[in-house]
Amino acid sequence: MSEADVPSLRLHTVLGDDDYLVRKKAQEIFDRLLPEYPEEFQREIIGGHAGRVDEVKTVVDKFRQAAQTLSLFGDGKLIWLRDVDFLADSPTGRAEGTLAEVERLQGYVEKLGTSGIQVVLSASPVDRRRKFSKWLEKTDHFTEAATKKDRGAALRRVVDETCEECGVTIGPDAFQLLVGLINGNTRLAVEEIRKLATFIGAEGGIIDEKLVTELVPPFGEGDFFEAAEAFSSFDLAWT
């Protein structure tokens, strides 16, 4: 398949460094396409996690089988290759066997053409230097889950959506404190907001800095964050 033919593929790709945002965006695309495939046998989700080269091969084989198994009535099929992690700059991602399997996967995707199959492929993290990654970025329905420039805004949107679902609100200062403690991890933000909302109770309320400090532990490199926050607050007892 020539490069000029790439945009004709019915492939929807979502890549990004934040696995939660990638999954969320891919889910939106998958849900949008579902009405075109009303029957359960027209839909298939394949997990893309692979810790070893042989597991990468298993994932690619599952995709091949799914792409070759069509309805007897020719009604098409929707396949979601979800949470692919072997495109990363990792020992598994760099392995020669993995690179060979990824090339095989690309070959299967290229052959889809007008077969009546649509594919959603979501992956995080991704080594953008790889041939397959660069090829995916050139496809017509490529989506970046969140660039570095808008990741902060995307995190804020997710937090606000979660707060709305839980019937609570969070102030600007409490939000900034939360982001610091969790090192900007979106998935952790969602879980911590749900935890804080549960603590507040069904009546709802406001998540403030005091509540975040008391209930949200620091993660990763954020160990010093609470101490710095306490010192800057001029609260001697807390410090």
pLDDT in tens, the chain (239 residues): 344 443 346 899 999 988 999 999 999 999 999 999 988 889 999 999 999 999 999 999 999 999 887 655 557 899 999 999 999 999 999 999 999 999 999 999 988 865 678 999 999 999 999 999 999 999 989 999 876 667 788 899 999 999 999 999 999 999 999 999 998 889 999 999 999 999 999 888 999 999 999 999 988 554 444 555 555 556 676 65
d(CA 216, CA 199): 12
Q: What is the signed CA dihedral for 147, 148, 149, 155, rounded to 10 degrees?
A: 80
Contact 120, 43 (CB under 8 A): no
Give the count of alpha carbons within 13 A of 47, CB side only.
4
